[in-house]
Protein backbone atom coordinates (compact mmCIF):
# COMPACT_ATOMS: atom_id res chain seq x y z
CA UNK A 1 0.00 0.00 0.00
CA UNK A 2 1.32 3.36 -1.06
CA UNK A 3 -0.34 6.48 0.28
CA UNK A 4 0.24 9.93 -1.19
CA UNK A 5 -1.25 13.27 -0.28
CA UNK A 6 -2.06 16.47 -2.06
CA UNK A 7 -3.22 19.62 -0.33
CA UNK A 8 -5.25 22.36 -1.96
CA UNK A 9 -6.60 25.10 0.28
CA UNK A 10 -8.72 23.41 2.93
CA UNK A 11 -8.91 20.09 1.09
CA UNK A 12 -6.55 17.16 1.44
CA UNK A 13 -6.64 14.40 -1.15
CA UNK A 14 -5.28 11.06 -0.05
CA UNK A 15 -4.49 8.68 -2.91
CA UNK A 16 -4.39 4.99 -2.12
CA UNK A 17 -2.36 2.69 -4.31
CA UNK A 18 -2.48 -1.04 -3.70
CA UNK A 19 -4.43 -3.36 -1.42
CA UNK A 20 -5.94 -2.44 1.92
CA UNK A 21 -6.02 -5.52 4.16
CA UNK A 22 -5.45 -6.37 7.84
CA UNK A 23 -1.74 -5.81 7.31
CA UNK A 24 -1.61 -2.60 5.27
CA UNK A 25 -4.56 -0.83 6.89
CA UNK A 26 -2.30 0.12 9.81
CA UNK A 27 -0.54 2.63 7.53
CA UNK A 28 -3.81 4.27 6.57
CA UNK A 29 -4.88 4.45 10.19
CA UNK A 30 -1.65 6.27 11.05
CA UNK A 31 -2.27 8.71 8.21
CA UNK A 32 -5.85 9.49 9.23
CA UNK A 33 -4.86 9.78 12.90
CA UNK A 34 -2.40 12.63 12.31
CA UNK A 35 -3.58 15.74 14.17
CA UNK A 36 -3.04 18.00 11.14
CA UNK A 37 -5.81 16.21 9.25
CA UNK A 38 -8.28 18.01 11.51
CA UNK A 39 -7.25 21.34 9.92
CA UNK A 40 -9.02 20.50 6.66
CA UNK A 41 -12.68 20.88 5.65
CA UNK A 42 -12.59 17.95 3.31
CA UNK A 43 -10.70 14.68 3.21
CA UNK A 44 -10.95 13.23 -0.29
CA UNK A 45 -9.88 9.66 -0.84
CA UNK A 46 -8.81 8.84 -4.39
CA UNK A 47 -9.52 5.12 -4.86
CA UNK A 48 -8.50 4.81 -8.52
CA UNK A 49 -5.56 2.55 -7.69
CA UNK A 50 -7.15 0.89 -4.66
CA UNK A 51 -7.43 -2.65 -5.97
CA UNK A 52 -8.73 -4.37 -2.86
CA UNK A 53 -10.30 -3.62 0.51
CA UNK A 54 -11.13 -5.95 3.39
CA UNK A 55 -13.07 -5.29 6.60
CA UNK A 56 -9.86 -4.06 8.23
CA UNK A 57 -9.60 -1.28 5.65
CA UNK A 58 -13.29 -0.42 5.98
CA UNK A 59 -12.79 -0.42 9.75
CA UNK A 60 -10.15 2.29 9.53
CA UNK A 61 -12.49 4.65 7.66
CA UNK A 62 -15.40 3.81 9.95
CA UNK A 63 -13.33 4.47 13.07
CA UNK A 64 -12.56 8.05 11.94
CA UNK A 65 -15.97 8.88 10.51
CA UNK A 66 -17.63 10.12 13.70
CA UNK A 67 -14.60 12.20 14.68
CA UNK A 68 -14.59 13.84 11.25
CA UNK A 69 -18.34 14.45 11.38
CA UNK A 70 -18.06 16.01 14.83
CA UNK A 71 -15.40 18.37 13.47
CA UNK A 72 -17.50 19.02 10.31
CA UNK A 73 -14.88 17.45 8.11
CA UNK A 74 -16.39 15.74 5.09
CA UNK A 75 -14.90 12.38 4.08
CA UNK A 76 -15.49 11.71 0.39
CA UNK A 77 -14.40 8.75 -1.74
CA UNK A 78 -14.02 9.05 -5.51
CA UNK A 79 -12.72 7.06 -8.50
CA UNK A 80 -13.69 3.83 -6.77
CA UNK A 81 -13.44 0.58 -8.72
CA UNK A 82 -16.71 -1.38 -8.96
CA UNK A 83 -15.37 -4.44 -7.15
CA UNK A 84 -14.19 -2.25 -4.25
CA UNK A 85 -17.47 -0.31 -4.11
CA UNK A 86 -19.25 -3.66 -4.00
CA UNK A 87 -17.56 -4.42 -0.65
CA UNK A 88 -18.96 -1.16 0.80
CA UNK A 89 -22.38 -2.12 -0.61
CA UNK A 90 -22.41 -5.60 0.95
CA UNK A 91 -22.40 -3.95 4.39
CA UNK A 92 -24.58 -0.98 3.39
CA UNK A 93 -21.68 1.42 3.94
CA UNK A 94 -22.34 3.09 0.59
CA UNK A 95 -25.44 4.57 2.26
CA UNK A 96 -23.54 5.85 5.29
CA UNK A 97 -20.51 7.24 3.48
CA UNK A 98 -20.13 9.65 0.58
CA UNK A 99 -18.91 7.92 -2.57
CA UNK A 100 -18.90 9.90 -5.83
CA UNK A 101 -17.54 9.20 -9.31
CA UNK A 102 -15.00 11.91 -9.97
CA UNK A 103 -12.69 14.40 -8.32
CA UNK A 104 -14.77 17.29 -9.68
CA UNK A 105 -17.87 15.83 -8.10
CA UNK A 106 -16.04 15.32 -4.83
CA UNK A 107 -15.00 18.98 -4.86
CA UNK A 108 -18.60 20.13 -5.29
CA UNK A 109 -19.96 18.09 -2.35
CA UNK A 110 -20.85 20.59 0.33
CA UNK A 111 -19.91 20.26 3.95
CA UNK A 112 -23.50 20.69 5.08
CA UNK B 1 -3.25 -27.97 -9.76
CA UNK B 2 -2.15 -27.84 -6.13
CA UNK B 3 -5.27 -27.25 -4.08
CA UNK B 4 -3.78 -26.35 -0.72
CA UNK B 5 -1.41 -23.87 0.87
CA UNK B 6 0.01 -23.49 4.38
CA UNK B 7 1.20 -20.13 5.67
CA UNK B 8 2.83 -18.87 8.84
CA UNK B 9 0.66 -16.66 11.04
CA UNK B 10 1.91 -13.32 9.83
CA UNK B 11 -0.51 -10.74 8.42
CA UNK B 12 1.86 -10.14 5.51
CA UNK B 13 0.92 -13.63 4.30
CA UNK B 14 -2.68 -12.57 3.64
CA UNK B 15 -1.53 -11.40 0.23
CA UNK B 16 -0.01 -14.86 -0.41
CA UNK B 17 -3.38 -16.48 0.35
CA UNK B 18 -5.27 -14.01 -1.87
CA UNK B 19 -2.87 -14.69 -4.75
CA UNK B 20 -3.27 -18.44 -4.23
CA UNK B 21 -7.07 -18.20 -4.44
CA UNK B 22 -6.82 -15.89 -7.47
CA UNK B 23 -4.57 -18.34 -9.28
CA UNK B 24 -6.65 -21.35 -8.32
CA UNK B 25 -9.84 -19.74 -9.64
CA UNK B 26 -8.28 -18.22 -12.76
CA UNK B 27 -9.41 -21.06 -15.10
CA UNK B 28 -13.04 -20.51 -14.14
CA UNK B 29 -13.59 -17.08 -15.75
CA UNK B 30 -15.66 -15.69 -12.90
CA UNK B 31 -16.97 -12.15 -13.06
CA UNK B 32 -14.56 -9.71 -11.41
CA UNK B 33 -16.99 -8.82 -8.61
CA UNK B 34 -17.72 -12.45 -7.73
CA UNK B 35 -14.05 -13.39 -7.80
CA UNK B 36 -13.22 -10.46 -5.53
CA UNK B 37 -15.97 -11.45 -3.08
CA UNK B 38 -14.64 -15.01 -2.81
CA UNK B 39 -11.07 -13.77 -2.29
CA UNK B 40 -12.36 -11.35 0.35
CA UNK B 41 -14.23 -14.06 2.28
CA UNK B 42 -11.17 -16.32 2.39
CA UNK B 43 -8.98 -13.34 3.39
CA UNK B 44 -11.32 -12.38 6.25
CA UNK B 45 -11.30 -15.87 7.77
CA UNK B 46 -7.54 -16.21 7.28
CA UNK B 47 -7.02 -12.86 9.04
CA UNK B 48 -9.21 -14.00 11.95
CA UNK B 49 -7.26 -17.23 12.32
CA UNK B 50 -3.90 -15.43 12.13
CA UNK B 51 -4.87 -12.66 14.55
CA UNK B 52 -7.43 -14.14 16.96
CA UNK B 53 -6.70 -17.87 16.99
CA UNK B 54 -2.93 -17.99 16.40
CA UNK B 55 -2.23 -14.56 17.97
CA UNK B 56 0.19 -13.79 15.11
CA UNK B 57 2.58 -16.45 16.43
CA UNK B 58 4.70 -17.28 13.38
CA UNK B 59 5.45 -20.76 14.64
CA UNK B 60 1.78 -21.51 14.04
CA UNK B 61 0.24 -22.11 10.65
CA UNK B 62 -2.99 -21.53 8.79
CA UNK B 63 -3.93 -24.00 6.11
CA UNK B 64 -6.27 -23.47 3.20
CA UNK B 65 -7.54 -26.26 0.95
CA UNK B 66 -9.91 -25.74 -1.96
CA UNK B 67 -12.27 -28.43 -3.26
CA UNK B 68 -14.73 -28.32 -6.10
CA UNK B 69 -17.91 -30.26 -6.76
CA UNK B 70 -19.74 -29.19 -9.91
CA UNK B 71 -20.14 -25.44 -9.71
CA UNK B 72 -19.69 -25.31 -5.93
CA UNK B 73 -16.37 -24.53 -4.30
CA UNK B 74 -15.43 -25.43 -0.75
CA UNK B 75 -12.72 -23.39 0.97
CA UNK B 76 -11.52 -25.17 4.08
CA UNK B 77 -9.39 -23.15 6.49
CA UNK B 78 -7.77 -24.54 9.59
CA UNK B 79 -5.30 -23.48 12.26
CA UNK B 80 -3.69 -24.94 15.33
CA UNK B 81 -4.41 -22.15 17.76
CA UNK B 82 -6.96 -21.23 20.40
CA UNK B 83 -10.48 -22.04 19.39
CA UNK B 84 -12.56 -18.93 19.10
CA UNK B 85 -16.15 -19.21 19.97
CA UNK B 86 -18.39 -18.37 17.05
CA UNK B 87 -21.42 -18.68 19.32
CA UNK B 88 -20.46 -15.20 20.52
CA UNK B 89 -20.90 -13.89 16.99
CA UNK B 90 -23.43 -11.09 16.64
CA UNK B 91 -24.46 -9.27 13.48
CA UNK B 92 -22.69 -5.93 13.72
CA UNK B 93 -24.64 -2.72 14.20
CA UNK B 94 -22.64 -0.53 11.85
CA UNK B 95 -24.22 2.77 12.94
CA UNK B 96 -23.24 1.91 16.51
CA UNK B 97 -19.68 1.03 15.45
CA UNK B 98 -19.45 4.42 13.69
CA UNK B 99 -20.78 6.42 16.62
CA UNK B 100 -18.37 4.67 18.97
CA UNK B 101 -15.39 5.10 16.66
CA UNK B 102 -14.95 1.32 16.54
CA UNK B 103 -13.15 -0.64 13.86
CA UNK B 104 -13.97 -4.27 14.07
CA UNK B 105 -16.56 -6.95 13.89
CA UNK B 106 -17.51 -6.67 10.24
CA UNK B 107 -15.34 -9.43 8.75
CA UNK B 108 -17.56 -12.40 9.55
CA UNK B 109 -20.64 -10.39 8.50
CA UNK B 110 -19.06 -9.93 5.07
CA UNK B 111 -18.23 -13.64 4.85
CA UNK B 112 -21.78 -14.68 5.79
CA UNK B 113 -23.28 -12.35 3.21
CA UNK B 114 -20.93 -13.52 0.45
CA UNK B 115 -20.87 -17.27 0.99
CA UNK B 116 -23.79 -19.70 0.57
CA UNK B 117 -22.87 -21.66 3.69
CA UNK B 118 -20.35 -21.05 6.49
CA UNK B 119 -19.45 -23.75 9.03
CA UNK B 120 -17.19 -23.41 12.06
CA UNK B 121 -16.03 -26.51 13.90
CA UNK B 122 -13.32 -27.33 16.41
CA UNK B 123 -11.29 -30.53 16.27
CA UNK B 124 -8.86 -30.83 19.17
CA UNK B 125 -6.83 -27.63 19.07
CA UNK B 126 -7.74 -26.88 15.48
CA UNK B 127 -10.43 -24.47 14.31
CA UNK B 128 -11.88 -25.47 10.99
CA UNK B 129 -13.92 -23.09 8.90
CA UNK B 130 -15.65 -24.30 5.75
CA UNK B 131 -16.94 -21.80 3.22
CA UNK B 132 -19.21 -22.98 0.42
CA UNK B 133 -19.89 -20.93 -2.68
CA UNK B 134 -21.80 -21.80 -5.81
CA UNK B 135 -20.35 -19.78 -8.67
CA UNK B 136 -21.98 -18.38 -11.77
CA UNK B 137 -19.89 -19.00 -14.82
CA UNK B 138 -20.81 -17.27 -18.04
CA UNK B 139 -22.43 -19.69 -20.50
The interface residues of chain B toward chain A in range 67-86, judged by CB-CB distance below 8 A, are none
CATH of the domain at B108: 3.30.565.10
CA dihedral A76, A81, A84, A88 (to 10 degrees): 40
- Asked if residue B139 has pLDDT above 60, the reply is no
The residue of chain B with its CA nearest to that of A54 is B40
Total domains in chain B come to 1
Q: Is A71 on the interface with B (CB under 8 A)?
A: no
Is the Cβ pair B14, A60 closer than 8 Å?
A: no
Q: Which residues pair with B118 in a beta bridge?
A: B131
Q: Which residues form the domain of B89?
A: 4-134
Tell me the angle at which helices B107-114 and A55-70 cross, rounded to the nearest 10 degrees: 120
CA B84 to CA B99: how far, in whole Å?
27
Supply the ipTM of this predicted assembly.
0.94
- Express each pLDDT in A42-98 by its tens digit: 999 999 999 999 999 999 999 999 999 999 999 999 999 999 999 999 999 999 999
The residue of chain A with its CA nearest to that of B10 is A23
Q: Closest approach of chain B CAs to the CA of A15, in angstroms?
A: 21
CA B117 to CA B1: how far, in whole Å?
25
Residue B56 placed within a domain:
yes
Q: Is B16 on the interface with A (CB under 8 A)?
A: no
- Asked if residue A112 has pLDDT above 80, the reply is no
Distances (CA, A) of A30 to A4, A53, B38: 13, 17, 29
| Strand pairing class (B72-79; B117-123) | unpaired
The answer to whether A44 and A14 have CB atoms below 8 angstroms apart is yes
- Asked if residue B51 has pLDDT above 70, the reply is yes
CA A53 to CA A39: how far, in whole Å?
27
Structural domains in chain A, sorted by start = 2-108 (3.30.750.24)
Amino acid sequence: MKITQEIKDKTITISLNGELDASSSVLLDEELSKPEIMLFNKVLVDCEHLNYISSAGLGVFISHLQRFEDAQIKLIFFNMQEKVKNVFEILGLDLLMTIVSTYDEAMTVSNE
Amino acid sequence: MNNSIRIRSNKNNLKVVRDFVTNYLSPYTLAEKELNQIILAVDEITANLIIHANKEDESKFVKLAIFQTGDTFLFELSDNGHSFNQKNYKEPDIKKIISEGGKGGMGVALVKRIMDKVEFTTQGTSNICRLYKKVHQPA
